[in-house]
Amino acid sequence: KQEVTQIPAALSVPEGENLVLNCSFTDSAIYNLQWFRQDPGKGLTSLLLIQSSQREQTSGRLNASLDKSSGRSTLYIAASQPGDSATYLCAVERSDSKLTFGKGITLSVRP
Amino acid sequence: GAGVSQSPRYKVAKRGQDVALRCDPISGHVSLFWYQQALGQGPEFLTYFQNEAQLDKSGLPSDRFFAERPEGSVSTLKIQRTQQEDSAVYLCASSLLARGTPAQFFGPGTRLTVL
């Protein structure tokens, strides 16, 4: 059974800091990996999707990497801003379309 | 519509009541997914439709949960005889093609509270 782990559960950083959010998964037979953002009381917004054949994806200040063999992904956020405060979820998709999510990392960026 | 919509956004039910949660996917999207998100947890897969066919219902926690998508667009998740452990946010997602490609787009969710 696929398990996705995100540690720590919460993180607080000062504005402007570069930061890395980690995600690990137990089964490397994945179709793709996605990073989502969730604001309180809201649904999920897809940030980046990395296909299993890819190593990384970039969008603006965000960069996500994938190492299938070691079962790890990182989300790098450059020059963090208070507006980045949210919960960040990592999810892996198997070939049967199911997404398996981690519990998320709640990020707080202090002004 | 521009995105996935869900209704109602909030639902309070007394234990034992039946509830119905609605999902309007993005127009033309083939795949539709339901997830359950308990407080402080990540979403967990419930069921998957490709057009009107329910291809996977392995995540439904009990036979009190039933989902349908009769015309391949709008979907309804029904929970019979609700229990307190059913309290959660129910998220719907859709994707353009089969197998969740290129990506799943999520609705805002329905927060169900069972008293």
Q: Are strands B110-114 and B10-13 parallel, antiparallel or unpaired?
A: parallel
Query: Among A4, A34, A97, whose Cβ lies nearest the Cβ of B48?
Result: A97
Q: Mind listing the pLDDT tens digit for each residue in A18-32?
A: 999 999 999 988 889
Inter-chain touch B33–A49, beta carbons under 8 Å: no
Residues of A in contact with B98 (CB under 8 A): 97
Contact B110, B7 (CB under 8 A): yes
Inter-chain touch B45–A42, beta carbons under 8 Å: no
3-state secondary structure of B42: coil
DSSP state of B86: G
Nearest to A89 by CA among A103, A78, A74: A103
Inter-chain touch A43–B48, beta carbons under 8 Å: no
- Statement: residue B99 has pLDDT above 80: no
Q: Mind listing the pLDDT tens digit for each residue in B70-86?
A: 999 999 999 999 999 99
What token pair was written down for A38?
Answer: 């969730």
**Mean pLDDT, rounded, for A96-109:** 92
Chain B interface includes A54 (CB < 8 A): no
Q: How far is CA A58 from its chain centroid?
A: 12
- Statement: residue B1 has pLDDT above 60: no
Residues pairing with B65 in the sheet: B79
